[in-house]
Amino acid sequence: MKIGEELFSTSKGSSYQCDRSNRVILCFGDLVTAFRIHEFVNFRRRINSIDIQSKLFDLSDECDYEVIEAPQQALPQRMALCEVIQLRELVNGTHFALELNSLLHEVLYSSCEV
């Protein structure tokens, strides 16, 4: 089954853009989540706001994991810090691909109008 056009992939996950539903789909381990663009931006902001460095140096047990809540998911995901770093890489790579696609689209269509 084809989800959409692949935007970005890592060894741990991949992301797709579905033109039919105007959603970004993240596949990361057992987590498959579809985001509207504004939801994706908010999710990216949440993932990037996690202070990995302070959690690495904190020896308490609760800092070994982070609870990740994604839109459209009934259950929050409990992820180890290494998984959070891998998810961050996927989310930021996806954001870069979306920005690049947008920029290319803008340049190509503005040059056609001239």
Residue-range definition of the domain harbouring residue 16: 5-113
Give residue 102's pLDDT: 86
What is the number of domains present in the chain? 1
- The answer to whether 70 and 33 have CB atoms below 8 angstroms apart is yes
pLDDT < 70 positions in the chain: 1-2, 74, 111-114
How far is it, in rounded angstroms, from Cα 93 to Cα 44? 11
How far is it, in rounded angstroms, from Cα 99 to Cα 60? 38
- Taking alpha carbons only, the member of 2, 29, 30 closest to residue 18 is 2
Give residue 114's pLDDT: 54
- In angstroms, the Cα distances linking 37 to 12, 61, 64, 94 are 22, 34, 30, 11
Give residue 26's pLDDT: 94
